[in-house]
Structure 1
């Protein structure tokens, strides 16, 4: 559905080009979300065939990035957007980079399984923890994309704070993996698998947070990279001049 916050020009074609940039981003993100979900399912269930599909799907996500980038560059060259239109194009360009990286991280999770030695599987409790962490990352990504689509700075701020829970999960899993390796050298290979997957999920949370920051930039007209959560709150609360 077209966003009435986007466009409003005399040229309907221009409005459609801006809307299309956002819709393509959301389509690309949908592929990356499915890729990540499949990667988690593959790893936790030892589904080698699905892991190979995850690896192959990365090309589609990459092709989307190229297509959207070219579309946005064409808008910049032909339309010479300003103010909110310019911020929209820049926010889409930044966001597709984050989505592409999420696709890469999903592929990395699939490759961890494909490189796994037969019979060298994590314990069910470890797999369960990764599954919970993965669902948090997927939910955060979904909510971040909804906030972007609505250009909702308040929602984006709420979502980016969810990254703390993912970071906490990562720290706990890494500590557990380190403890297991120190007490039993036979656990080193398994613990490294778990650590690699946990790190990938932690990075997914970071990229989802970035998308939220792009949304705040789009809504409020201020670059908010590297700001603390309290500083972000002040930006979101401040009305545009």
Structure 2
């Protein structure tokens, strides 16, 4: 990817470098937000719940900043096709990162409802924390793939999403079975299903980021297609 990383204009290189750094900074905020939301799930920690919700504003602001920087760069530099792939890929990546932040906020709000009702979510569905660990790895690896412009690592993230989907379906099946067996758990189970769905959606957005990396690096749109590692 030498043509993406180096140009005749050193100022253009600096502008692209700042843009990529801002994306990674946003990714770091999102990773921390998800981790804090899962901490809240494990401990019914009011501080972690409110911190997760409040951090969403910073992520939204950074998304807008990166979008504005990208638009200005296109207008000012009129980049060639390969650089346009990078800039357009960045715009799509930050959209998915912002949506990961939204899902983390949903987790925190679901935990707050459960804890305010006097329940402990981990006693009912401890496996959600394992699911969350898997999607956090996917998120970290998708950002690493972007940082290194590594399409092979991006491909791995895409494949890993299948395991997350399967684990989510198992959790959903167990929760539905619990509701059938004991209808007094319906309210709690529905809140946990909502949380589990948010966790699974984080994996979907991490997969999307990986797909955008492949577009940036290889110029191929692999969305909506079954994709296998070569």
The aligned residue for residue 29 of structure 1 is: 27
Deviation at 1:151, TM superposition (A): 1.0
Distance 1:5 1:57 in 2: 36
74, 84, 87: which one aligns with 2:85: 87
The aligned residue for residue 216 of structure 2 is: 218
Residue by residue, what CA displacement relative to the aligned partner does 1:25-72 show, whole Å, maximum 9, x if unpaired?
000010010000000010121111210111001000001000000000
The aligned residue for residue 40 of structure 1 is: 38
Distance 2:68 2:122 in 1: 45
The aligned residue for residue 202 of structure 1 is: 200
Q: Is the 8 A contact 2:42 2:122 kept in 1?
A: no
Query: Which TM-score applies when normalising by structure 2?
Result: 0.95
Q: CA RMSD in A?
A: 1.5
The aligned residue for residue 174 of structure 2 is: 176
The aligned residue for residue 131 of structure 1 is: 129
Q: Is the 8 A contact 2:107 2:195 kept in 1?
A: yes
Choose 68-77 or 185-194, whichever is displaced more.
Answer: 185-194
Distance 2:106 2:124 in 1: 21
Distance 1:5 1:178 in 2: 52
Distance 1:175 1:114 in 2: 24
Q: Is the 8 A contact 1:7 1:14 kept in 2?
A: no
Distance 1:28 1:214 in 2: 16
The aligned residue for residue 164 of structure 1 is: 162
The aligned residue for residue 151 of structure 1 is: 149
Deviation at 1:197, TM superposition (A): 1.2
Distance 2:130 2:50 in 1: 23
Deviation at 1:118, TM superposition (A): 2.7
Distance 1:30 1:182 in 2: 40
Distance 2:61 2:47 in 1: 23
Distance 1:198 1:5 in 2: 41
The verdict on how the C-alpha distance between 1:123 and 1:136 changes in structure 2, with shifts beyond 3 A counting, is: closer
Distance 2:174 2:3 in 1: 47
Q: Is the 8 A contact 1:7 1:85 kept in 2?
A: no
Deviation at 1:120, TM superposition (A): 2.6
Q: Is the 8 A contact 1:58 1:107 kept in 2?
A: yes
Query: Which TM-score applies when normalising by structure 1?
Result: 0.91
109, 112, 117: which one aligns with 1:111: 109
Residue by residue, what CA displacement relative to the aligned partner does 1:63-99 show, whole Å, maximum 9, x if unpaired?
1000000000001111111121110000100000000
